Structure 1
Amino acid sequence: MAELAKIGAVAVDRRRFGRVALVHDWLASYAGSERVVEQILKLWPDAELFSVVDYFPEELRADVLRGKRATTSFIQKLPRARTAFRLYLPLMPLAVEQFDLSGFDLVISSSHAVAKGVITGPNQVHVSYVHSPIRYAWDLQHQYLAQARKLRGPKSWVARAALHYMRIWDMRTANGVDEFVANSAFVGRRIRKIYGRSAQVVYPPVDVERFAPTGRARGDFYLTASRMVPYKRIPLLVEAFSKMPDRHLVVIGDGPDFETVRELAGPNISVLGYQPSNVLIDYMQRARAFVFAAEEDFGISVVEAQACGTPVIAYGRGGALETVIDSGDPRFGTGLFFYEQSVEAIVDTIKRFEARAPFDGEVCRLHAARFSAARFRQEFLGVVERAVERYPTALLTFEHRATAEAR
C-alpha cells in the first residue's frame, strides 16, 4: 500500500511523486515566501531542500523547515555573504544552475529571484511557485537604480548591463518550468507579460487562526506594519499622518528607511521598530484600521489585519485589489482604497473612512479565511497532481522507481 501523509484534509501519496526537491532563492528570514516553503514541506516532509544561501534563524528551523538544512551554493562561502548576500545577485544564476537535481522526479521551486532557473531534464516535472518575477530586473528597474543612486555614471552602466543579463537569463529559464503557479492574479499578469506563459493562481498561506479577533474594544489609533524598504512607502504614511495631528499612527517594523521614518514622525506617530509577533498581533487586534501604501504582489499583512477583524485602508493597485473588498456598503466591505501614492489621497481616504458607518469585523474575518494555510495546501497539491498527470514519461519514471523501492 502506498505511503500516505495526511495534512489536515489533504492526503499526499508520497511515493506517487517519487523523490522531491524543493528549491528556494535564499533562506535568511521568516517572511512571506518562507511561509510558502513551510507549507510545501508539510505536504512533502521528505523533500530535500536547496537554497543559494542558508542563514535561516536557528530558533525557527525546527518548526518552519522541519529541522532541515539546505544544500547551498558557492555563494554561502563568499566574503560577507551572511550580511550582504544580495550583493552577489549577478552570480546567483550561475550558482543555482550548479545544483545537481538529476536524481529527483519532482522539482518544486519557490521563486522571487532565481530559484526557477534550476536545470531539470525531460523525465522530471518542474512546478514553480512564483512570488514575483525578479522585480528589480523588470518593471522596477528604474526605481531600483534611483534608490541605489545609480542613474548615471560608470556604476550605472555596470548595473544596467547586469540587469540586462538577468532579464535574458530569466526569460530563457522559463522554458524549464512545466507549470507556473502565481501567488496572485497580479503576479500572473506579470508572468504572462514577461515569460509568455499562463499561471494558475494559488494565494499564499496566511495564519488566520493565530491572527484572530479578541472581542476587546478598539483603540483610537491606526496601524501600519512592514519591513521599511523604499517601495513599502512607510515615510509617505508618516507624512500623511503628520498632516492630521489629531490622529494617532503606530508604526511597527525596521529596515533601511527606519531612520527616515523616525525623523519624520511627529508627536502623534509612535515608531516602535521591530516587535515580536505577539505584540504585532495585539496591535492589529486593537487598531481602528490597518494602513498600507505599497503596491504589493500579494500583501500578507493586509490579510492578517482582516483576520483580526480590522478593516484596511490600502493603495488600490497590485495584490490589494484581490485581498481587500472596497464596497459601497460597509456591511459587505473590508476596507477602502486610495488610488494615488500621495499625502493628499491618504488624508482624504482617512476622512472618508471615519465619515462612513463602521465596518463589520466578522465580515473582515470571514473574508480573510479564504487565504488559510489549509486552503493553500489543498490547492497547491491539486496543481502539482495535475502537472504530474500531464507528463506520462515522468509518471512512468515515478511508478518504476516506486516498484523498485518496494522490492
Structure 2
Amino acid sequence: MLACLPQAPLFATIDFLAPQDRARLGPRDIHTTFLQRAPGVRKRFWNYLPVTALAVETHDVRAAQLIVSSSHAFAKGVLTTAEQLHVSYVHSPMRYAWDLHHEYLADYRLDRGAKGLLARYMFHRLRQWDRQTAHNVDLFLANSQHVARRIWRAYRRPAKVLHPPVAIGRFAFEPRKGDHYVTVSRLVSYKRIDLLLEAFRRMPQRKLVVIGDGPEAPRLRAMCPPNVQMLGYQPDAVVQQHLGSARAFLFAAHEDFGISPIEAQACGTPVIAYGVGGSRETVRDLRSVTSPTGLLFDDQTPESVAAAVEAFDAASIDPHACREWAERFDERHFREGFALLLDQAWSAWSRAPDSVEPALFSTR
C-alpha cells in the first residue's frame, strides 16, 4: 500500500517495529498516539483496549485529501471531514467484538464473574463505536469475499474485494515431497490445532509437524501424540524447508483469508483445509474443479480431518498447479489492483463528492 502512495505520511497507534521491519517502510516518519508513551504498552497492549478508539481519534489528518486506512479493528475510525475521501482496506471487522466474541472471552477467562460482566459491557460499547465509525468510510475494500460478507453483516456497507499480497517470490518451488504433513500457525484456540492433533492420533502411521508458538502451546504439548512433532517458533528458512517438503499443509481454522495456505501452495504443496471462510477462495478443491490445489473438509472435527487426509492420499495433485494458483495472489497483483481502485475512487470523488456514482461506492 505504501509503495502505491510513496509520499503519504504514516499514522499508527503505537510503533515498536524491529529494525528489519522498519526498513521495509522506507524513509518516512511514523506518527503515533499517546499510547506510545503509556506504561507497559509494548507487552500489555490488550490492557489499553478501552482507550484505543480514543487514541485513533486523536490523529490529526485534516491536511490530507485522500486517507487510506488499513484496519483490523480501530484504524477505520480516524476522524475525517466531508471534503476528504476515506478508503478503508479492512482485514476483518474486530473479531473479538463480533463473531469471535465468545471465544475471546473464554480464552482470556472473562466469560464469568464481575470481570466478565465488565468485559462484555466494554465489547458492547466497542461494537457501537465500530458500527458508528463505518460512516467515516467512503469506500470499503475487503481482503476476501468472506470479509466482505462480514462487513455487510457488521456495518451494512458493501465492499470491493482485493485479496492481500503474498510474497510468492520468497518461497522456492519444490516438486519432490516427503512423508510428513505440516501446519504453521500461531497457537491460539480458534486456529484449532487441537483438531489436527486428535486426527493424527487416529492415524499413527502418518506424521505431522506443527510450527508456531502461542498461549495454547502448553495445552497442545500435553495432548500431543507420538507421531506429531511440535517445533515451536522457527525462522523463515526452516518454515520454508518444511513447507516445501511436506505432502500437504493442514489448515483447520475458520479464517478471514489465510496467507499460510497460499505460501504452502507457492512451494508446490497442496492444502487440506476447513472449507469455510477464506479457504474457499484460496484452495481449489479436488472434488469440484480441474487443476485442484487441495481438499476442503466440511466439519471442524477430528473425524472430518482424518477422512480428508485419507481422501487426499488416494488422489493426485500436481505441485505445478499449486504454484500457478498461488502466483495469482502475488504482491504485484495487489499493487496493480490497489492502485486501480484508488484511481477509480479518486476520479469519481474529485468530480463531485455529492454525486459520486453508486456503482463505485455502493456495489459489492
Distance 2:239 2:193 in 1: 16
* Matched residue, 2:32: 72
Matched, 1:306 2:265: yes
**Structure 2 residue identity aligned to 1:101:** V
Determine what percentage of the aligned residue pairs are the same residue.
49
Residue 321 of structure 2 corresponds to residue 363 of structure 1: yes
Residue matched to 2:219:
260
Equivalent residues, number: 353
1:225 Cα deviation (Å)? Answer: 0.2
- Equivalent residue letter for 1:388: W
Distance 1:174 1:329 in 2: 37
Query: Which residue of 2 is the match for residue 392 of structure 1?
Result: 350
- CA drift at 1:319: 0.1
On the 8 A contact 1:123/1:394 being kept in 2, the answer is no
1:393 to partner: Cα distance: 6.6
**Partner Cα distance (2:259, 2:333) in 1:** 15
Letter in 1 for 2:44: A
1:141–1:88 distance in 2 versus 1, CA, 3 Å: same
| 1:144-193 Cα distance to aligned partner (Å, 9 max, x none) | 11222222211111011100110111111111101100000000001111
Counterpart of 1:224 in structure 2 is 183
1:239-287, Cα deviation, whole Å (9 max, x unpaired) = 2212211111011111111122222222211111111111111111110
> 2:80 is matched with which residue: 107, 120, 125?
120
Aligned 8 A contact 1:295 1:319 in 2: yes
Moved beyond 3 Å, runs of 4+: none
Cα deviation, residue 330, structure 1:
8.0
Q: Which amino acid aligns with 1:273?
A: G
Aligned equivalents of 2:206 and 2:28: distance in 1?
A: 46
Q: Distance in 2 between matches of 1:327 and 1:366?
A: 15
Q: Is the 8 A contact 1:223 1:284 kept in 2?
A: yes
Residue equivalent to 2:228: 269
**Which of 176-185 and 228-237 deviates more?**
228-237
Distance 2:68 2:103 in 1: 31
Pair 1:94 & 2:54 matched: yes
Match in the other structure for 2:339:
381
Shift in Å at residue 329 of structure 1? 7.1
In structure 2, which of residues 15, 19, 23 is the aligned counterpart of residue 58 of structure 1? 19
Query: What does 1:159-174 correspond to in 2, within 5 Å?
Result: 159-174=119-134
- Separation of aligned partners in 2, 1:250 and 1:77: 40
Aligned pairs for 1:170-249 (under 5 A) are 170-215=130-175, 217-249=176-208
In the alignment, the residues of structure 2 paired with residue 69 and residue 80 of structure 1 have an alpha-carbon distance, to the nearest angstrom, of 23
User: Match of 1:295?
Assistant: 254
The residue type paired with residue 329 of structure 2 is F
Provide Cα deviations, 1:323-380, integer angstroms capped at 9, x if missing partner: 1011337861111111111111111111111122x20011111111110100000101
Check whether the contact 1:51–1:70 (CA below 8 A) recurs between aligned residues.
yes
Amino acid at match of 1:130: V
Q: Which moved more, 1:321-330 or 1:292-301?
A: 321-330
Equivalent residue for 1:318? Answer: 277
Whole-angstrom distance in 2 between the partners of 1:46 and 1:371: 25
Conserved in 1, the CA contact under 8 Å of 2:287 and 2:295? no
Deviations 1:180-211 (CA, angstroms, capped at 9, x unpaired): 00000000001111111110000000111222
Q: Compute the TM-score of the two structures, normalised by the length of structure 1.
A: 0.84
Q: For 2:299 and 2:135, how far apart are their aligned partners in 1?
A: 37
- Consecutive unaligned residues of structure 1, counting only runs of 5 or more, are 1-39, 396-407
SS at 1:260's partner residue? helix
Amino acid at match of 1:371: F
| C-alpha spacing 1:67/1:269, structure 2 compared with 1 (3 Å) | farther
Instruction: Determine which of 279, 283, 297 is the counterpart of 2:242.
Output: 283
Q: Are the aligned partners of 1:123 and 1:393 in contact in 2 as well (CA < 8 Å)?
A: no
User: 1:14: which partner in 2?
Assistant: none
| Unpaired segments ≥5 residues, structure 2 | 354-364
1-structure distance, mates of 2:164, 2:240: 19
- The answer (yes or no) to whether the contact 1:52–1:73 under 8 Å persists in 2 is yes
Give the conservation status (yes or no) of the 8 Å contact 2:284–2:292.
yes
1:69-106, Cα deviation, whole Å (9 max, x unpaired) = 42111111112101111221111110000000001111
